[in-house]
């Protein structure tokens, strides 16, 4: 045996690392296994913490989960800063949503009515109010929405800080790919890696993002219903004063956003495609994003183009994450966070830590057993 610990975490994106950090803080020994930590969706993401403007029509339970995680962010990043000395760019900047035309505005009004029915803090803006809130927006936009509680974090800094925090808490990162699973009867007792090593643990947490459903050797009943949803973001560098808030919008029905970081960089996103694990940047997606973002914020044309980043979101059948027991004893899921994994990081870490230490339960909306219960009903 190459290592024995209380907990093994498979995957070192923000989800796996935050779990490793929190569990290790409780005095348990943790091993994190990942061949390429920071290469997944956690690196490509835009870092919006947007329970309100990401709310479409999914419903009250998922909204409550997202709102709860957003509320945990200030304490989470403060603890992280104390442990690592790193500022992860958590900015309480609010989000402006701009409509492009009358049809977009009508859709925004419907969404606003739905949000208000759920008790969410969001406000309709007239054309004039929209420009006053964010003067760099194009002239003549018909109106929009203001979500004062939707903020941002720099997800790349967050990832770096979590690597540091997990390591400092005594959760070493093993650079290898999980290619097999150790079992004693039904019970999962460890993992095998592509360099021939074996690790054992009382609990194994599957946090491999979009790859959670394709980790080699996972027995059939334990394969989670997670699929890859391709997405691209662009990084630009512009004048620091260009935007004061996250700007989102819909241009002729195409969603687009621009996230201004404190250092003057800007993240433009995001495409969404069902394209398997193909993470090559697609020219048409880059073109669409630049065209639509520049339509809303004309000043983007003068910024420096820095980077295209592509990855796959871990999608689930109902867009809610899978956090909790798998069908096999000894194996927990922390996956399927789809478009909100950065937002859901603090809450996921707390929920999984609660399960492992026997001090908490997970809400039904993210309990992986909900699909089995649903099947039994139909």
Ligand X SMILES: Cc1cc2nc3c(=O)[nH]c(=O)nc-3n(C[C@H](O)[C@H](O)[C@H](O)COP(=O)(O)OP(=O)(O)OC[C@H]3O[C@@H](n4cnc5c(N)ncnc54)[C@H](O)[C@@H]3O)c2cc1C
Binding site for ligand X (CB under 6 A): 10-16, 33-37, 39-42, 44-48, 177-178, 207-211, 215, 231-233, 269-270, 311, 313-314, 335, 337-343
Nearer to ligand X, 23 or 124 (CB): 23
For residues 137 and 296, give the distance between their C-alpha atoms in angstroms, rounded to a whole number: 6
Instruction: Tell me the closest approach of the beta carbon of residue 313 to ligand X, in angstroms.
Output: 4
Nearer to ligand X, 127 or 198 (CB): 198
- Tell me how far the alpha carbon of residue 235 is from its chain's centroid: 18
For residues 248 and 245, give the distance between their C-alpha atoms in angstroms, rounded to a whole number: 9
For residues 336 and 132, give the distance between their C-alpha atoms in angstroms, rounded to a whole number: 38
For residues 319 and 371, give the distance between their C-alpha atoms in angstroms, rounded to a whole number: 12
Nearer to ligand X, 45 or 124 (CB): 45
Instruction: Tell me the closest approach of the beta carbon of residue 45 to ligand X, in angstroms.
Output: 3
Please, which residues have CB within 8 angstroms of residue 198's CB and are 6 or more apart in sequence? 1, 2, 182, 190, 191, 192
For residues 137 and 251, give the distance between their C-alpha atoms in angstroms, rounded to a whole number: 13
Distances (CA, A) of 346 to 9, 182, 285, 307: 16, 29, 31, 28
Instruction: Tell me the closest approach of the beta carbon of residue 58 to ligand X, in angstroms.
Output: 14
Nearer to ligand X, 43 or 114 (CB): 43
Nearer to ligand X, 124 or 178 (CB): 178
Instruction: Tell me the closest approach of the beta carbon of residue 5 to ligand X, in angstroms.
Output: 15
For residues 360 and 353, give the distance between their C-alpha atoms in angstroms, rounded to a whole number: 8
Instruction: Tell me the closest approach of the beta carbon of residue 21 to ligand X, in angstroms.
Output: 13
For residues 20 and 17, give the distance between their C-alpha atoms in angstroms, rounded to a whole number: 5
Nearer to ligand X, 131 or 340 (CB): 340
Instruction: Tell me the closest approach of the beta carbon of residue 338 to ligand X, in angstroms.
Output: 6
Instruction: Tell me the closest approach of the beta carbon of residue 158 to ligand X, in angstroms.
Output: 10
In the chain, what's the furthest Cα-to-Cα distance?
A: 67
Write down the residue that tokens 């400092």 correspond to. 168
Nearer to ligand X, 137 or 267 (CB): 267
Q: Of 214, 156, 217, 193, which is closest to residue 32 (Cα–Cα)? A: 193
| Angle (CA) 121 44 323, round 5° | 65
Instruction: Tell me the closest approach of the beta carbon of residue 22 to ligand X, in angstroms.
Output: 14
For residues 251 and 294, give the distance between their C-alpha atoms in angstroms, rounded to a whole number: 10
Nearer to ligand X, 149 or 341 (CB): 341
For residues 243 and 132, give the distance between their C-alpha atoms in angstroms, rounded to a whole number: 12
């Amino acid at each position: 045996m190459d290592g024995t610990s209380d907990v093994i975490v498979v995957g070192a994106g923000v989800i796996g690392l935050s779990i490793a950090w929190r569990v290790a803080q409780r005095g348990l020994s943790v091993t994190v296994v990942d061949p390429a930590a920071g290469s997944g969706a956690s690196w490509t993401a835009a870092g919006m913490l947007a329970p309100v403007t990401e709310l479409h029509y999914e419903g009250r339970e998922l909204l409550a989960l997202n709102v709860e995680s957003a509320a945990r962010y200030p304490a989470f990043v403060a603890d992280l800063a104390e442990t690592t000395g790193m500022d992860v760019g958590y900015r309480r900047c609010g989000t402006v949503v701009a409509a492009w035309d009358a049809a977009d505005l009508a859709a925004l009004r419907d969404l606003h009515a739905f949000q208000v029915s759920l008790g969410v803090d969001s406000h309709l803006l007239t054309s004039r109010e929209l420009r006053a809130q964010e003067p760099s927006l194009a002239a003549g936009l018909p109106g929009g929405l203001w979500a004062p509680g939707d903020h941002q974090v720099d997800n790349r800094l967050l990832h770096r800080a979590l690597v540091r925090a997990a390591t400092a808490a005594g959760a070493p990162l093993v650079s290898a790919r999980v290619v097999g699973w150790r079992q004693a009867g039904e019970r999962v007792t460890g993992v095998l890696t592509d360099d021939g090593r074996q690790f054992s643990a009382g609990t194994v947490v599957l946090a491999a993002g979009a790859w959670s459903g394709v980790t080699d050797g996972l027995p059939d009943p334990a394969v989670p219903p997670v699929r890859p949803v391709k997405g691209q973001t662009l990084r630009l560098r512009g004048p620091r004063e260009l935007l004061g808030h996250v700007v989102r919008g819909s241009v002729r029905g195409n969603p687009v956003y621009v996230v201004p970081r404190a250092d003057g960089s800007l993240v433009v996103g995001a495409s969404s495609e069902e394209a398997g694990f193909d993470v090559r940047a697609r020219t048409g997606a880059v073109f669409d994003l630049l065209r639509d973002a520049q339509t809303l914020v004309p000043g983007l044309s003068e910024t420096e183009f820095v980077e295209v980043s592509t990855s796959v979101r871990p999608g689930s059948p109902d867009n809610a994450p899978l956090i909790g027991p798998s069908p096999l004893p000894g194996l927990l899921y922390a996956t399927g966070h789809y478009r909100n994994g950065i937002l859901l990081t603090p809450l996921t870490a707390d929920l999984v830590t609660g399960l492992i230490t026997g001090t908490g339960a997970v809400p039904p909306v993210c309990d992986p057993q909900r699909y089995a219960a649903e099947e039994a009903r139909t």
